[in-house]
Amino acid sequence: MIDMLLSQVLDLMTPVLLAAMAGALCERAGVFNIALEGKMLVGAFVAVAASIVFGSPVLAVLAAVVCTAIFALPLALGGARFGGDPIVIGIGLNLLASGLTTYLLSALFGVTGTLVDPTVTALPRFGLVALAEIPVLGAILGGHSALVYLSWLLVVAIHVYLFRTRWGLRLRGIGEVPSAAAAMGANVSRYQTSVVVVAGGLCGLAGAVLALGSVALFAENMTAGRGWIAVVAVMLGRAHPFGIALACLGFGLADAVGLRLQGQGLPNQITDIAPYAITLLAMIGLGLRGAAKKMRNA
């Protein structure tokens, strides 16, 4: 029972984790990225559309990454290079993503609400042979798509990049004191622009996992606030990959428990709000922690 629950947690947390890693990179570069929700939605739509066109989940994922990276260009150029307000641009991208995917769903496929096509296949799942014989661990870690395992590799890789390489040190310097980094010869706008585009690609991965991980469909606004949860995870984890992963585990657990309780006859409306209630409580906790810190420093 517990092994099945934890296995479900890994699946449910992966889209949020990938989007939160994107947010962490932007945060470290000094760009507050609240467009994670919209970019995830674009990634999900492109993944399903490309799966119909190409008939390959691999090409569908690649298309989602590329198109979402392109969709991130307004934030990359407007916010990072030309000094626009990233919050205003991010809100605009979220609204654009919602309207654009709804329009394209009708214009390209002639449907509204949900796009289900027999040619769309879910991402293949793999078992880890080395862990298959271990009673509980094998059931938890086996049978996931490649992107689930990739998300955890990215957590480690981003940590190493940020804290163990000179490029990561330079990026953190740009985020903390951009004027000092520029004085040392760093091209601040180029770094920030590149990071925002890469973060867009990560959101494309997140959207592809959401759409093709298990359901193999696209529904209007199917991200359902997961991008905003990712923003909160970045704040809770203080833009540190391991802290963010821990926060995403908590959100994934709340989501999985909510789904389990649905099977016990609890109304869907109650169980569906579990991750968002935890998000709200986390934000209140962050606010109280910040207020207490200000009082101590006063």
Q: Say yes or no to pLDDT of 202 above 70.
A: yes
C-alpha Rg value of the chain to the nearest Å: 19
Q: Would you say the C-alpha torsion 45, 152, 36, 31 has a positive or negative sign?
A: negative
Q: Which region among 138-152, 244-258, 280-294 has the lowest average model confidence (pLDDT)?
A: 280-294
The pLDDT assigned to 129 comes to 58
Question: Residue 298: what pLDDT?
Answer: 64
Query: What local confidence, expressed as pLDDT, does residue 159 receive?
Result: 98
pLDDT in the model for residue 276:
76
| pLDDT(186) > 70 | yes
What's the one-letter identity of residue 289? R
Domains of the chain: 2-297 (1.10.3470)
- pLDDT confidence band for 81 (50 / 70 / 90): confident
Q: Containing H/E element for 125?
A: strand 125-126
128 has a pLDDT exceeding 70:
no
Q: DSSP string spanning 207-263?
A: HHHHHHTTT--EETTTTTTHHHHHHHHHHHTTT-HHHHHHHHHHHHHHHHHHHHHHH
Query: By the 8 A CB rule, do 149 and 14 touch?
Result: no
Check pLDDT > 90 for residue 139.
no
Residue that wins the pLDDT comparison between 39 and 297: 39
Phi, psi of 123 (to 5 degrees): -60, 135
Q: What is the pLDDT of residues 86-120, one digit of tens each?
A: 999 999 999 999 999 999 999 999 999 999 999 99
Percent of the chain with pLDDT over 90: 65
51 contacts 43 by C-beta, under 8 angstroms: no
pLDDT given at position 142? 81
pLDDT at residue 264 in the model: 73
Whether 293 shows a pLDDT value over 90: the answer reads: no
86 vs 131, higher pLDDT:
86
* 3-state SS class at 115: strand
- Per-residue pLDDT of 216-274, as tens digits, reads 999 999 998 999 999 999 999 999 999 999 999 988 988 888 888 776 777 777 777 77
CA distances 233 to 21, 116, 205, 236, 293, Å, are: 9, 31, 17, 5, 20
Distance CA 239, CA 141 (A): 26
Q: Which own/partner pairs from 121-125 qualify as long-range (CB within 8 Å, at least 24 positions apart)?
A: 121/51, 121/57, 121/212, 121/216, 122/57, 122/212, 122/213, 122/214, 122/215, 122/216, 123/57, 123/61, 123/147, 123/208, 123/209, 123/212, 123/213, 124/57
> Comparing 111 with 138, which gets the higher pLDDT?
111
Higher pLDDT, 129 or 158: 158
pLDDT-derived band of residue 176, with 50, 70 and 90 as boundaries?
very high
